[in-house]
Amino acid sequence: MRIAKICFLCSFIVFAACKKDGTSSNTTSSPPEACRVQINPETGSVIEGRYIVTIGDNTNTRSLSATDLSRYSSNLLERNNIRSSALLQSFGGSPSGFIVALSADEVKRLRTDASISIIEQDRIVALGDCFKVVEPTLITWNVTRVGYGDGRGKTAWIVDSGIDFTHPDLNVDTIRSHSFLSSEPSANDENGHGTHVAGIIGALNNNFGVLGVASGANLVSLKVLGKDGTGTAGAIIQALAYVNANAKAGDVVNISSGEDTVSNILDQQVKNTAAKGIFITIAAGNVAKPAANYSPARVNAANVYTISAVDSLDNFASFSNYGNDVIDYAAPGVSVVSTWKGGQYAQASGTSMAAPHVAGLLLLIGNNIKTSGTAKNDPDGTPDPVAHK
């Protein structure tokens, strides 16, 4: 049986003639050693003069249209002697609010307004996973480990660097996809991370490439990270507001990025989205520390799942954050092969790869996730259960 081969210099793809839902001799039980997961030094950096502001529930702004909410936000600024041009973006949902450029004195004035709930400085969010372009393997060890099935008709909203719109192994919903980066208005992936996450969730059951946990699922690209792998907390909050307005109960949101600190606004957006019956999977983080110290990984709520990483032998990944107080399951996150930008495939490691495995399971069976074994050498002393169909 042949596998798909990629000539990276000439971008030529040869498709193998076999269905992915059968037993494949190419299934790997022990993937090669992972590259070292690096921490991006930019992540968590404060964006000077840029703030995320939420509006109190007493203002009845939840039902406002995007245009009316922007107008309300501008008026709120003006009555506090702040120029309306300082408004950068507004976002709906619960909480609703806006992102704004402010001086220190303007922040002080705004804090005295009874309509304001929370003001937080916006921060940079940056990827820290490692990737290596490789040849695909039809049914990979990680998908075999958690189980897989038919995800057609189900929808996953991927809050990430975008998705390769033309990747032949993915079913991308380009109509509902949206970019929250003014510098990159297309939700097409120019980085690769989001495409990798998308493939783990829903790569097609066809004659080539890899198989996703929920093969053929509709994949909506919500771009919050640019081609350099960086974005802002504010963009993630805007993406969740977009999900609130457009998703339905039973859909899944995957967030394989987050802050290196705590954001009450981001945490609340996650909780309110999940309260609508929308499942949310969140990467635990890659700094080998308690996940409870970081948003949104620290969120505990119904329909919210924080995921740590294991390797092919169920060893707890050395880079993975930990903590039974917030982590729900472990899933494969070491040397995972999935789709990549430009119609390619790549091997990657990180809790970013672990979370979408559980996203795929949630699409298939809802919150009736089973477990199979536990993570070995979990540093908190109580091993996380490994998620399984």
Marked catalytic residue, from 352, 357, 378, 384:
352
Contact between 162 and 198 under an 8 Å Cβ cutoff? The reply is no
Identified catalytic residue from 129, 160, 164, 260: 160
Q: Report the DSSP beta bridge partners of residue 185.
A: none
The C-alpha atoms of residue 341 and residue 362 are separated, in whole angstroms, by 25
Distances (CA, A) of 6 to 177, 215, 274, 316, 340: 28, 21, 40, 32, 12
Q: What are phi and psi of 199, to 5 degrees?
A: -65, -35
Query: Is residue 193 annotated as part of the catalytic site, yes or no?
Result: yes
* Burial of residue 150 (number of CB atoms within 10 Å: 0-12, 13-18, 19+): middle
Instruction: Find the DSSP H helices in the chain.
Output: 66-79, 104-111, 141-146, 193-202, 233-246, 264-274, 351-365
Q: Is the distance from CB of 324 to CB of 304 less than 8 angstroms?
A: no
CA distances for 274 relative to 278, 291, 356, angstroms: 5, 19, 16
- Please indicate whether residue 160 is annotated as part of the active site: yes
CB 101 within 8 A of CB 86: yes
Can you say whether the dihedral through the CA atoms of 225, 228, 229, 232 is positive or negative?
negative
DSSP annotation of 80 reads T
**Residues with a known catalytic role:** 160, 193, 352
